[in-house]
Amino acid sequence: MATTVARASGELCRVLEEDGDLADAIPRERRQQAIDECLARTLVIPAGRWRATQDVAPNEGIGLLVLEGSLIRRVGVDGRFGAELLGAGDVLRPWQGEGEMPTLQVTTGWRVIDTLRLAILDEQFTRRLARYPRVTGSLVARALERSRNLAVNVAIVHQARVDVRVRMILWHLAGRWGRVRSDGVYLPLRLTHSVLADLAAARRPTVTSALSELARQGLVAQIDDGWLLTGSPPGELLELVSAPLAVNGTPLDGP
């Protein structure tokens, strides 16, 4: 796969307008003012391998906020790999830790799945944001939530059966990005079998077989550049999280 190159869009975006959850942290009477003031430069990265540390210079700001698209971060130790899927709402600092001397030989790589559009939350943006500390708190909460999601992912890959892992991963992702429909929960992410294999810490042929079995049981279907999940989330997954998964406030394990 060819290495992709980031390109500055040359545009400023209203971060709080594009990420409404951040705007919700501000009292209504100040919200529009905050939306107009909190501007950030944008960066667009097409699908493919991404050399993040070469395309984005370290800065003293907060990092990069994903506005659109998705990407996977792959980490390997001694030939074995783990992976993390990131998408809209996540905050990245791809340069952080790159200069440290690790005690283990670790390889890392980024791959953009769907074209990324990022807001650059640099020092200039941070100065604008200083008037709205609740938004800063929300961004910190995002970082902590990312850590929590990673812990759930680790627990998932310890499940013995690959079909269980794959189904749990899809439902876990649906808790963030899924859409409830009359025929199930639609996950609008173009996750190939190879990407799911990385997330499930399994071999791609094994994941393909697991997906075939899940499809035969009517639990998972690949449709419209995404996945349709039917039934309820696996009971084991609900035990891994502190509260029932929900999509847009609708519990996924409800009636």
Is there a single domain that holds both residue 183 and residue 95?
no
pLDDT of 120? 92
pLDDT of 129? 93
- DSSP calls for 81-103: EEEEEEETT-EE-TTTTTTS--S
CA atoms of 253 and 236, how far apart (whole Å):
12
pLDDT of 8? 57
CA atoms of 166 and 202, how far apart (whole Å):
9
- Which H helix or E strand runs over 19? none
Is there a single domain that holds both residue 191 and residue 227?
yes
Is there a single domain that holds both residue 113 and residue 212?
no
pLDDT of 53? 72
CATH number (domain holding residue 124): 2.60.120
Task: Determine the longest span between alpha carbons in the chain, in angstroms.
Answer: 55
Is there a single domain that holds both residue 197 and residue 81?
no
Is there a single domain that holds both residue 9 and residue 130?
yes
Low-confidence ranges of the chain (pLDDT < 70): 1-10, 55, 57-59, 97-102, 104, 236-255
Is there a single domain that holds both residue 48 and residue 147?
yes
Domain that holds residue 182: 159-251
CATH number (domain holding residue 176): 1.10.10.10
CA atoms of 247 and 249, how far apart (whole Å):
5
Residues 15 and 43 sit within 8 Å (Cβ to Cβ): no
**Based on the structure, what is the number of domains in the chain?**
2
Domain end (from 109, 134, 155)? 155
Is there a single domain that holds both residue 54 and residue 169?
no
pLDDT of 236? 63
- In sequence order, what are the residues at sequence separation of 6 or more whose Cβ sits closer than 8 angstroms to the Cβ of residue 87? 66, 69, 70, 71, 176, 177, 189
Domain end (from 112, 131, 155)? 155
Domain end (from 122, 155, 188)? 155
The 10 Å Cβ neighbour count of residue 142 is 16
Is there a single domain that holds both residue 134 and residue 149?
yes
Per-residue model confidence as pLDDT tens digits over 165-176: 999 999 999 999
Is there a single domain that holds both residue 19 and residue 133?
yes
Tokens of 17: 């307008």
